[in-house]
Amino acid sequence: MKMHIDAETISCGLIAHPSRHSLSPLLQNTISSELGVNMVYTAHDVVPSAGEASNLSLMNAVKGAEALGYRGLNITVPYKTEVIKCLKELDELAERAGAVNTLVRLKSKDGYKGYNTDISGLKRALDADKIEIKGKNAIVIGAGGASRAVCTMLAMNLASSVTILNRTLSKAQALAEAVKNSCGYDSISAHGLNEYMEAFDPEKKYICFQTTTVGMYPDNFSSPIEDEAFFGMLEAAVDVIYNPMKTLFMSKAQSRGVRTA
Q: Report, as residue numbers or ranges, the catalytic residues.
A: 80
Quick one: which of 21, 5, 9 has its CA closest to 213? 21
Which H or E element spans position 147? helix 145-156
Beta-carbon contacts of 92 under 8 Å, excluding residues fewer than 6 positions away, are: none
Beta strand segments in 69-176, E: 72-75, 89-90, 102-105, 112-115, 137-141, 161-166
Half-sphere exposure of 112 (CA within 13 A, CB side): 28
CA 148 to chain centre: 8
Buried b (16+ CB within 10 A) or exposed e, 174-197: bbbebbeebbebebbebbbbeebe
Bridge partners of 237, per DSSP, are 208, 260
State the Cα–Cα distance between residues 112 and 72, nearest whole angstrom: 8
State the Cα–Cα distance between residues 166 and 189, nearest whole angstrom: 11
Task: Please give the DSSP secondary-structure letter assigned to residue 133.
Answer: -
Task: Please give the DSSP secondary-structure letter assigned to residue 141.
Answer: E
